[in-house]
Chain A
Amino acid sequence: MPLRAKVASSVSRTAAALSRAAGRGDGSVIGGWIGLKIDPDLLAHLSAGRAIALVSGTNGKTTTTRLAAAAVGVLGRVATNSFGANMPTGHTSALAKAGSTPYAVLEVDEHYLAQVLEATEPHVVALLNLSRDQLDRAKEVAMMAQLWRAALVRHADVRVVANADDPMVVWAATPPADPARGVNPPHVTWFSAGQRWHDDSWVCPECGSTIQRSGEQWWCTGCPLRRPEPQWIVEDDGVLDPTGAWHKVTLQLPGKVNLGNAATALAVAAEFGVRPVDAVSRLGTVTSVAGRYAQVDRDGRNIRLLLAKNPASWLEAFDMADVAPTLLSINARDPDGLDTSWLFDVDFAPLRGRQVLITGDRAYDLAVRLDVNGVPFQHVRTFDDAVRAVPPGRLEVIANYTAFQDIRAELDRVN
């Protein structure tokens, strides 16, 4: 590592430690920010000599990264950005903090995938899904798929692990070959994890025709784009691997969506030569991920935290949550997106019959939505009011990003 990179890396670690000591946060961003100021190529320098996996997509990337890091851990030490700090500053912090490791598994914000591919030259990239998320500032779904596709053309040697059930991901992962310029599409291993949300992929990104669905199959009615045959498949409470062997997966994380994340993690680890039979037990050691799924006992209530940031992840959260009193908290600060329109893309009907409480900066937007949805609710000012308003026992908390962080702070930054 060049001297400048060494200094930058060391300063970055110190800044992160200071930030944590000062109680200013996880220190997972500030360290990288300072390091990159000193050496703009620090991420590339820190990546050199490591076998790296990147994990990107709209939903599930933090959890899948954690599971994949556990699986790759079979082979040796793994650096990872486990606090969900998923932009280059976060990657830089994570790698600097970890010191020298043979492996790294990094969660990447979908907007930064091209840049991080360039800097880290990964061995494998996992593409999970693309759906509407923070539309007031995020790229629209088709545009994001186009960006991924353009980035992958420039990295034909990377191994891609991609979701066969998401037409946008399939299209992004299969750029056309360009023999004249010696460009070949990357090798793709497909996984199938099921998908509840289909509303962003009715129109073919290739030709604009309608995409038809029947059961798990989908195909474009105007061009050859269709669901590829997956090699990794969620089946019952386990995962079928490419050899046809079925592995029971016992997770401490709830919901079918996490079984899908586990399948993806096993597929990523397999690209490094990890056998699923060796990795599968390690997946069960993951209990919560940056506060997601964490359980806290307070005043006789067992509070469980679920993060839901966009329509697709709300549908998954309702599936994970127990039939119990439920607090919903909505903010619309910068990291959340300033627009709350997506609330009407979520059907809250599964909450009927549960005691529902609402809070957050934008509780009134949620109130109007629930009213139209015929879901009775009670508005509370604070998290403590919510805890007091429910009987002893389980309280499910479903919140979007900054609302989730606010509640996590109330619970002493539970991980």
Chain B
Amino acid sequence: MSTESLRIVWIYPDLLSTYGDRGNMLILARRAQLRGMPVEVLEVRSDQRLPATADIYLIGGGEDGPQALGAQRLLADGGLHRAVAQGSVVFGVCAGYQLLGTSFFAKGTKCAGLELLDLSSDRGPTRAVGELAGEIDPRLGVPALSGFENHGGRTHLGPGVSPLARVTAGVGNDGATEGAWRGKLLGTYSHGPALARNPALADLLLRWATGVHQLPPLDDTWADRLRSERRAAVAVADRA
């Protein structure tokens, strides 16, 4: 953790914020503050330099044009690469997840990604829209993933990353695996405010950022109710 407060950077909300992506920043800040951590949140627009010294970087979803533009600017800026080299946490969602890889497709064109994760994305036969659920890699010690996906891409993982989860409902990367992680970098197709339904995942990012292995528990009554309601909804859809 840098200096005296936890620094969270939301990368390019002017480009990559389509589905309530702000939620992940708000949730991380809230969960840190409730544990008495001082928090500093920075929204860095695409015409600004990206600070390389923050603890957590968030990249959200977006349409094709903004996704391609966002990747170009991040490559030109170089700040995120420096931050990753220094051990910062990165959480990418949907378009923001794809652009962490080596390449992705936007507006029918193959675009260069940031090459921070060993994965590449192309177009799938159909758009994946609906509930997404999966069993998360047991090494992460986090309960099942619950989310909503909306993407046309399919993502192929290389040997340098591990899948975030094994899909139990929805599509994720390819119908079998969902998301990816390596070190303190994590990406998911569970779009928008993915952490709202996955408070344990939010705490994982906070533990990575702070190096604190045991965070004081919080009252997650409403998130727990939401998770069980969504689990039941997915189960009903499965039987239908």
* A interface residue numbers (CB < 8 A to B): 132, 135-137, 140-143, 199, 202-203, 208, 210, 338-345, 364-365, 367-369, 371-374
**A136: contacting residue among B23, B47, B150, B196, CB under 8 A:** B150
**B130: contacting residue among A132, A338, A341, A365, CB under 8 A:** A338
Q: What residues on A are CB-neighbors of B223 within 8 Å? A: 368
Alpha-carbon separation in the docked complex, A372 to B20 (Å): 13
Tell me whether A210 and B46 are in contact (CB under 8 A). yes
Tell me whether B148 and A341 are in contact (CB under 8 A). yes
B19 to chain A, nearest CB (A): 4
Sample of 18 further A-B pairs with CB below 8 A, known A135-B18, A341-B193, A369-B23: A136-B129, A140-B63, A142-B65, A202-B14, A203-B14, A203-B69, A339-B148, A341-B20, A342-B20, A342-B192, A344-B22, A364-B229, A365-B226, A367-B225, A367-B226, A368-B226, A372-B27, A372-B30
Query: Among residues 202 to 229 in chain B, which have CB atoms less than 8 Å away from a CB atom of chain A?
Result: 222-223, 225-226, 229
**B18: contacting residue among A132, A137, A210, CB under 8 A:** A132
Smallest CB-CB separation from B23: which chain A residue? A344
Tell me whether B63 and A344 are in contact (CB under 8 A). no
* B interface residue numbers (CB < 8 A to A): 14-15, 17-23, 26-27, 30, 45-47, 63, 65-66, 69, 129-130, 148, 150, 191-193, 196-197, 222-223, 225-226, 229
Tell me whether B47 and A210 are in contact (CB under 8 A). yes
Q: What residues on B are CB-neighbors of A344 within 8 Å? A: 20-23, 26, 192-193, 196
Tell me whether A199 and B20 are in contact (CB under 8 A). no
Tell me whether A368 and B65 are in contact in the complex, defined as CB-CB below 8 angstroms, given that A136-B148, A210-B14 are known contacts: no
**B192: contacting residue among A143, A199, A208, A341, CB under 8 A:** A341
Q: What residues on A are CB-neighbors of B17 within 8 Å? A: 199, 345
Q: What residues on A are CB-neighbors of B45 within 8 Å? A: 210
Alpha-carbon separation in the docked complex, A339 to B19 (Å): 9
Smallest CB-CB separation from B147: which chain A residue? A341
Tell me whether B129 and A372 are in contact (CB under 8 A). no
Identify 20 residue pairs between A and B in the complex whose beta-carbon atoms are under 8 Å apart, listed by A's number. Answer: A135-B19, A135-B150, A136-B130, A137-B129, A143-B63, A202-B14, A203-B14, A203-B69, A208-B65, A208-B69, A210-B47, A338-B130, A338-B148, A341-B23, A341-B191, A342-B19, A344-B26, A345-B22, A368-B223, A374-B30
A328 to chain B, nearest CB (A): 14
Tell me whether B193 and A142 are in contact (CB under 8 A). no
Q: What residues on A are CB-neighbors of B21 within 8 Å? A: 344
Alpha-carbon separation in the docked complex, A372 to B30 (Å): 6
Alpha-carbon separation in the docked complex, A361 to B129 (Å): 20
Q: What residues on B are CB-neighbors of A202 within 8 Å? A: 14-15
Alpha-carbon separation in the docked complex, A121 to B16 (Å): 38
Q: What residues on A are CB-neighbors of B18 within 8 Å? A: 132, 135, 140
Tell me whether B196 and A369 are in contact (CB under 8 A). yes
Smallest CB-CB separation from A204: which chain B residue? B65
Q: What residues on A are CB-neighbors of B191 within 8 Å? A: 341
Alpha-carbon separation in the docked complex, A143 to B130 (Å): 21
Which among A135, A143, A364 has the greatest number of chain B C-beta atoms within 10 A?
A364
Alpha-carbon separation in the docked complex, A141 to B47 (Å): 22
